[in-house]
Amino acid sequence: MSGLLDGKLALVTGAGRGIGFATALAFARNGARVLLNGRSVERAAEAAKLICETVPGADVRPLVFDVTDSGAVKLAFSEVHKEYQGLDILVNNAGVLKDALVGMASEQMFQEVMGVNLSGTFKCAQFAARLMARAGSGSIINISSIVGRYGNAGQSVYAASKAGVIGLTLSLAKELAPANVRVNAIAPGFIETDMIASVPEEKRRAIIDGIKMGKMGTAEDVANAAIFLGSELSSYVTGQVLGVDGGMTI
């Protein structure tokens, strides 16, 4: 196997489906060893099996933990340290989407969305940063969203979590650059996955009408950006927010 990520060890959170799965698969195709995180043992094992069937010789392993569980995150990263003595790429992809007009957003919803999208991202980045800084290299890729940059009515909580991810990315990029650890974000637009499956057809059409390229993106479109940010192709790129949105924001 040979590719842009040959020999690198990557951890992708929320890798059981959608953008996370596509990223794990694309990484494996490019020669990376991939740790597939998920909350469910079955889903993570199924994802690993699917990748091994698609990419002969792929080195992928499930790593089950919930990103909101601090103890479980700590334990998972100490296992990674013990087993591999380091980590080259972290893709903070796990996320949840909950929409509500501001007057209807509950405290519980706020805690849930912030817990996964922002705290989960922070915790994983914190442990990865330690491993990477010690090794003097690494790439952290945080999946944000266009709404984290531009906002959206009915998505104040989700947008705040994704804007937080951008602030985290920029700060970590400054803090970790001297250790040769790069930190970037990807801001996907409207990507065809389970996350947007419940968007009604009429609303879907209206959103697509606002995309300059006239179509939704695929999980693979986002995965390709992650390959760039994880590989040496982006060795002088840090603190950036890369839009993958078909021109939705121009």
20 binds ligand NDP (CB under 6 A): yes
One symbol per residue from 189 to 228: x for binding ligand NDP (CB under 6 A), - otherwise; what is it? -xx-xxxx--------------------------------
Q: Greatest CA span in the chain, whole angstroms?
A: 53
The one catalytic residue among 84, 150, 158, 236: 158
84 is catalytic: no
State in angstroms the smallest separation of the CB of 158 from ligand NDP.
Answer: 7
The answer for residues whose C-beta is within 8 angstroms of residue 203's C-beta and 6 or more apart is none
43 binds ligand NDP (CB under 6 A): yes
Are the C-beta atoms of 19 and 191 separated by less than 8 Å? yes
Between the alpha carbon of residue 226 and those of residues 145, 183, 230, 244, the distances in Å are 14, 12, 6, 10
Binds ligand NDP by CB under 6 A, chosen from 30, 139, 145, 234: 145
31 binds ligand NDP (CB under 6 A): no
State in angstroms the smallest separation of the CB of 165 from ligand NDP.
Answer: 8
104: three-class secondary structure by DSSP:
helix
Q: Looking only at residues 158 through 187 of this chain, which bind ligand NDP when binding is defined by CB under 6 A?
A: none
Provide Rg for the chain, Cα atoms: 17
Q: Looking only at residues 107 through 126 of this chain, which bind ligand NDP when binding is defined by CB under 6 A?
A: 116, 120
The Cα 159–Cα 170 span in angstroms is: 17
188 binds ligand NDP (CB under 6 A): yes
Tokens 């996964």 -> residue: 116
Whichever of 10 and 116 has its CB closer to ligand NDP, that residue is 116
Whichever of 9 and 216 has its CB closer to ligand NDP, that residue is 216
State in angstroms the smallest separation of the CB of 146 from ligand NDP.
Answer: 7
68 binds ligand NDP (CB under 6 A): yes
Interface with ligand NDP (CB under 6 A): 13-14, 16-20, 38-40, 43, 66-68, 93-97, 116, 120, 143, 145, 188, 190-191, 193-196
Q: List active site positions.
A: 158
